[in-house]
Amino acid sequence: MSAVLREGEVVQRNAALGLRFWDVAAATSLIDGLKVEVYPVTRPNARKPALPNPSGVYVAHRVDGLASFEFDASSDPMQAWNDAAAASPPLGGRYRVEVSDPQGRYLPIAFDADLPARGVLSWLAPWMSPPQPIVWPGDAGSPPLLLIERIPLFSSPSRPPPQPLAVVYAQLREAGSGRIPAWCLLAVDIDGVRCGLGMADREGRVAVMFPYPEPPRAVLASPPQARSDFRWTLELSAYWSTNSPPLEPIPSIPDLAHVLGQLAAPCSVIDSLSSPAPPRRLDYRRPTTAKTEGQNAADASWLLLST
């Protein structure tokens, strides 16, 4: 079918979904090259891509089941949104959004959204009543940093750390069982301040990337001495539940609600199996690999968690 556009006519097309992603490590939303797919939760084969616009917002068009909304011909630009808000049952319903990175910089993530969603989507924590944005963990700002109009993306362990970010690597295992805590969250604190939050991949490998904290105060000298040997003491904490995300079978793409819901389930990071471990150190411009001290040689590279 073809259409003839007359001079002076305006074609209006409504976007059912707009997404802005957030690089947790580099604290930026300028992210290109992602693969974003949207489909009704009951029809996984009806996938449609969401593509970035010049502002970096990924926009989904031709979403399955929303053609009448997208091509609404009303003279009032708001009529389609008003109709969608008043529709009973809901016009589009629940959709699944899957995000992956063909370049391997970020770990995959998926979440549900009710469409059409006006404006840039703010993901709402489903475990809250009513669902609402979460406060980003560790944020001490006033007002607190809310997860509004941003979908967090965690670095993959193979991502080269963007300069000049610090990085802490670990390979996680559950103490005793040796199970892989897939999609577990690992946090880094320095001097009691949350600096970084990372997510383990399906194999339990994690890279927590974050900006270096302020260097220790320099000793007064004349002339001032150039220094690049800064060092900080860091502490690790983990968040993981054996049921969320499911332990068996390990999902290939974690659900955002399951991942962030783990923040309510802290677990212990075991520093040493045999004796008090020395403090963990972070040296300027040197990646740090965290492991549990006192393990057998065959397991020496693991960082053990205790649930």
pLDDT of residue 304: 96
Tell me: pLDDT of 2 over 50. Answer: no
Pairing outcome for strands 17-19 and 58-60: antiparallel
Least confident of 34-48, 52-66, 243-257, 280-294: 243-257
Tell me: pLDDT of 131 over 70. Answer: yes
Mean pLDDT of 34-40: 97
> Which residue type occupies 11?
V
pLDDT one-digit tens code per residue, 137-168: 766 666 677 889 999 999 999 999 988 899 99
pLDDT > 90: percent of the chain: 58
pLDDT of residue 234: 93
Mean pLDDT of 283-294: 94
How many alpha carbons lie under 13 Å from residue 87 in its C-beta half-sphere?
18
pLDDT one-digit tens code per residue, 169-217: 999 999 988 899 999 999 999 988 899 999 999 999 999 999 998 876 6
pLDDT of residue 67: 85
pLDDT of residue 37: 97
Tell me: pLDDT of 65 over 60. Answer: yes
pLDDT of residue 286: 93
Tell me: pLDDT of 303 over 90. Answer: yes
84-88 long-range contacts, CB within 8 A, separation 24+ = 84/116
pLDDT of residue 50: 96
Tell me: pLDDT of 285 over 50. Answer: yes
R_g of the chain, CA atoms, integer Å: 23
Mean pLDDT of 12-26: 91
CA distance to 123, 125, 139, per residue, from 143 (Å): 19, 19, 9
Taking the C-alpha atoms of residue 172 and residue 303, their distance in angstroms, rounded to an integer, is: 5
pLDDT of residue 230: 85
Which residues, at least 6 apart from 166, have a Cβ–Cβ distance to it below 8 Å? Answer: 195, 196, 209, 210, 211, 212, 282, 287, 288
pLDDT of residue 74: 76
Tell me: pLDDT of 3 over 60. Answer: no
Mean pLDDT over each residue of the chain, to the nearest integer: 87
pLDDT one-digit tens code per residue, 224-278: 666 667 889 999 999 998 776 666 778 899 999 999 999 988 999 999 998 888 8
Higher pLDDT, 6 or 167: 167
- Three-state helix/strand/coil letters over 193-217: EEEEEEECCCCCEEEEEEECCCCCC
**Which of the four pLDDT bands, split at 50, 70 and 90, describes residue 1?**
very low
Residue 297 dihedral angles phi and psi, to the nearest 5°: -55, -35
